[in-house]
Every structure is written in structure tokens, then in C-alpha cells.
Chain A
């Protein structure tokens, strides 16, 4: 601060010396006091007009413009943010919807599959039942046949043996004795022929 003061005082004093020197030679028009009052007068007028018009009319307008822009930008940012959240919500909803419909379609698929499997199962069971019945029928038939077979075979055996005997010895043999023998043989060999 001290340096500054000394510097300016020096500057000013040298300046005054210069002024007086140049004033003698008529060098510096700044120091001619002829128009000082006029300059101050016109300075007050021009600067006064400038100050009044600027502060009353122009600067408030500029201030308003700047503030208006600021608030508008803030508003725009706010709306943009709102729209962003809206868009995000919509996207979420969309995702949800997609997920739901995927699940639904899966469910449909599973249902259809279950139904089909059930259907197949049912039909299979029905078929099995039928087949079982058929098998049972067949088995019964077979059993009947099996049951009837020895009698028939016995009959045939008796007939054949009686025929053979007649042919061999030319004599009629009592059928009952033959059948007794066949029965006896049959009983003996039953397990051999019909063992299941």
C-alpha cells in the first residue's frame, strides 16, 4: 500500500511538473481550463442520461430476459425429467406385459401339453382295458381249449387205440377198458404235456 501511494504521489508530482512545463509551451490541451466546465457539464448530461435510461428501462429488461430464460430452462428440464420417468414407467409396464404374456403362453402350452398327455393316457388306458379284455377272452378261450383238449385227445386216443387193436387182433375190445388205460396214462403224463 505504502509503495503504491509513494508511486502514485511521485507519478502525480512528476505529472504536475510536466504539466507546468508543457503548459508553458502550450503542449497539453488537457490543462487548458477553458472548456473544463463545459466538459463537466456535458459529462453530467450524457452520463446522467445514460445512467437513467439504462437503469430505468434497459437493465431491468435484460435482467428479466435472463431470469426468464433461466426459469424456462429449469421448466424444460423439469418436464424432460417428468417425461423420462414416464417413459421409464411405460418401459416397465411394457416389460411386465411381455413377461406376463410369456408366462401366459407358457401356461397355455403347459395346459395343452397336460391335456394332451392326459388324453393320451386316457386313451391308452381305455385301449389297455380293451386289450386286457381281449386278452382275457383269448386266455379264457385258450383255457377252455386246454381244458377240453384232454377229453378230445382221450377220445381220439381211445378211438385210435380201439381201431388199432381191432386191426391188430380183429376183435372188438371193450371201450371202457381202453378208456381206463388211457385215463391212467393221461394221469401219469399230464404234467409232461400240459405243464404250463
Chain B
């Protein structure tokens, strides 16, 4: 009889063991994801030619014929067998990694993080083992200042010429010594057209004026992000987006507290879903999330309010202690290829810095973003602000704590 109790204990392990077996079988039966799905994106040949012409400036020891055959793989003899990248979730089409493996024989392993700070903590601790990371603007600056990034050898990345000069030479890396643009986006307001019959909510008053917010009480959400939400309050008050003046911060706090009672809540994780399922009708939102919501519900539109919004850019960089630096550079070059650039952006729904890839983008993507109001023109661009961090901006955290304490 006592043995039955042992059985119970062993069944935990047996259970796990069988689960493991099943998982293993599943794994073994898995073929590499077929690239067929996105094949049409590869169709237009002219761009390929353009790109083939680009590597003229390439100084490589590889024999010319091999270079022509596999110029997307760099010098194959110098490639490592594996490459470890550390990236945001759902931010790299698995197709790109599978095709790189097929073409160049490098096994790409992707691990994911959900905030810059998490990623920075691991990179700063050292010996993390990653070859490529995707830090946002301010994170590039912090990592570069701390000496945690390797200088990129641009000779290995001829596809740099595909990049839009507007996305290069930003404040966080003026000479692009350490980083190359990956994707970028904006922060504004996403709304459900049917809830605003009198016209779009084109002002921050729709989220901060208590009267206007409470018209949709319980159906408005703000980003759960101290810099974005307080920054928006600053713009509403007519101050600078990065204002650290204690009096202005106190005003911003009061604006946020007054708005709070009529909010559904703060949500920066899945506002795309709450918008699409009409749990909220107005959301302080990132452009990519708004596009995802529109993908599911075509009543969702997006705009940058007249007071302004913010802009951000994620970038590819190589940690200073990366084990496979050359391979990482070749992979960056691969990602910056016009064809791959299009595959990437069709997948993420953000904006691409890769000018050469623009003609290859899906029509669906274009229409989604154009009709959804996500596209950025020169007039809108002027209203966008970068989030900057320095020693004083810690006050944003304290203001945010005060908002969340009540």
C-alpha cells in the first residue's frame, strides 16, 4: 500500500519524461520552415540586380567567382557555424534565419527579451554569448558609452548603401560606428472610427481633458510607460517632451491623475488586441501595434495628435564580447538586403529604414499603413520627439510612481 505513494511521486517524473519524449518527436519531425510563403516578395528581379552592383566597394579576399555566387554570405571560409542573436519577440521573420542557414550554412539561434533594460542588464554583465542585439535608440547610446558595443566593420556590410540617410547619424550614434538601423516607428493615438463620428481625435485633449476622456469612460487606455505617458502629458501642457523641471513634472502628474478615473487602464502589452476586440476605442499607442489592430479590425485608425508624438528606432548592434563578430556583420548585411528587408517589414508592420526594400513591400502592407494613417510625411515628422535619457530624467520614474500610488 505504501508503494502507491511512491508511484504517485514517480508518476510526476514519468509524466514529465513522456512529455519530453513527445516534444522530442515533435522536434525531430519538424522540417525547416518552408520559404514558399513569402516567395512572391522575392519575385521582382530589378532590385536584386541593384544589390548585385553594390558590392563594388567590397574589399574581400574571397575569389571573385565565389563572391558572385554567394555574396550574401560574405567570405564563407570566415563564417562560424553558429550565430546567436538576442532580439525582441516576433521581430525577425523566422524565414530570414532559415534562409540564411540554408544559403550560408550558419545556424541562427534567436533568444528574446521584452525590454531594453532586461537586455542591457545581461549585456552589461558580460560574457552573454550573443553576437547581435537589437537595442532601441537610447539603449545604443548607453551601451556604446559604457564600451559594451563593438565597432562595426562597414567593409563587411556593403548593403549599408540601401539605408535611408534619414535614419542614419542619429543623436545616439552620430557616425553609426556601433549600430545600423533595423526598424522604426512612432507613438500616437489609435482609435476606433465608429466611436468618433464627429471626426478623428486629433488632439491630446481627447485623452487628457477629463470631460473628453470621460465621454468614453472605461474605454480609453494609455501606454504603461513612464516616458511615453508623462511625455504626452508634457506635450499637452505645452512643455518639452523630455522636460525634467520638477514643477512641470508635478503638473504632468496632476493631469495624469485627473485622467485616470476614466481610463480602462495602462496597457503597453496588448493594446492591439483590446483595440481590435473593441474593449477600448481610443488608445495611446505605438504605430506597429496600431497596424496589428487594424489588421484584425478595419475600423482602427492611427494619427499623430497636433501637439505631437514620439519617434523611436531599433538598431542592430554587436556586443563588444561577441564570439562571432564577422558572422554577425555578414548577417546584418543579409538583413539589409532589399529582399530580406521587405520580408522583415512585411512581418513586423513597422517602418523600414531600408530604402531599397520599399518597392518590394507587399501591397497589403502599404494599404494597411496608408489607410490606417500610420505613414509619416515631412509635416508629421516635425511633430515627433525622441525620448532622451540622462542623469536627470530619473524624475520621470518618480512621477510615474506617484501616478500609480494613488
A binds B: no
Residues of A in contact with B (beta carbons under 8 Å apart): none
